[in-house]
Amino acid sequence: DSGVTQTPKHLITATGQRVTLRCSPRSGDLSVYWYQQSLDQGLQFLIQYYNGEERAKGNILERFSAQQFPDLHSELNLSSLELGDSALYFCASSGQGSNEKLFFGSGTQLSVL
Amino acid sequence: DAKTTQPTSMDCAEGRAANLPCNHSTISGNEYVYWYRQIHSQGPQYIIHGLKNNETNEMASLIITEDRKSSTLILPHATLRDTAVYYCIVRVPFNDYKLSFGAGTTVTVRA
């Protein structure tokens, strides 16, 4: 158990809909990262937050947004969903002052039908 | 990020050592070598990292060549549970916040 909690584990929705994925980092970790893993793209970095502020942005679509709340949990919002958004979405966290190790959650499997 | 090159796949016999190579010929002086693995559809798991000295922990050993252009991850006694995709990543900690995953090496441990 990495200590990172992601909910829900599975999500099935239709095209055009909007969903929210939730992540609770390990206790005390200030950084949260979001990754997308699809069959043809591998693990792609989306975005990172540190203590509530966006720190780095990767290949995140404009239809996607994220935020980190004062209690350090994070949400990834995906809107106007398309079939190609079907993927595993992972959240990871790392500790203050240490970017050495990222601890990943078990992921949310999103299926857009 | 410096790019890494890993074999696409490899097999290993259960109980034997698994040696996973990684080439990172363009690595810069302040970049570390990290290894993660992903067991089928689970979240990636940190294994080990190092700068230039060999490292060992409870999971594996990391051997980095003197010129730092390549490294080898050693799983000393592979078990069936070690079947996974293994990723070799180079990055500067405390600066490059993200991990950039490549295709990795699919390791299959056979009984």
Q: What is the pLDDT of residues B54-109, one digit of tens each?
A: 999 999 999 999 999 999 999 999 999 999 999 999 988 766 667 788 899 999 99
Q: What is the mean pLDDT of chain A?
A: 93
Whole-number pLDDT of residue A39: 83
Asked whether the beta carbons of B6 and B21 are under 8 A apart, the reply is yes
Q: B96 at the A interface (CB within 8 A)? A: yes
Q: Chain A: which residues have CB within 8 Å of chain B?
A: 2, 4, 31, 33, 42-43, 45, 48, 50, 55-56, 58, 88, 90, 92, 97-107, 109
Cβ within 8 Å, pair A88-B94: no
pLDDT tens-digit readout, B17-62:
999 999 999 998 888 999 999 999 899 999 999 999 899 999 999 9
Buried b (16+ CB within 10 A) or exposed e, B53-77: eebeeeebbbbbeeebebbebbbee
Using the predicted structure, report yes or no on whether residue A97 has a pLDDT greater than 90.
no
Rg (CA), chain B: 13
Whole-number pLDDT of residue A42: 85
Using the predicted structure, report yes or no on whether residue B5 has a pLDDT greater than 70.
yes
Using the predicted structure, report yes or no on whether residue B3 has a pLDDT greater than 90.
no
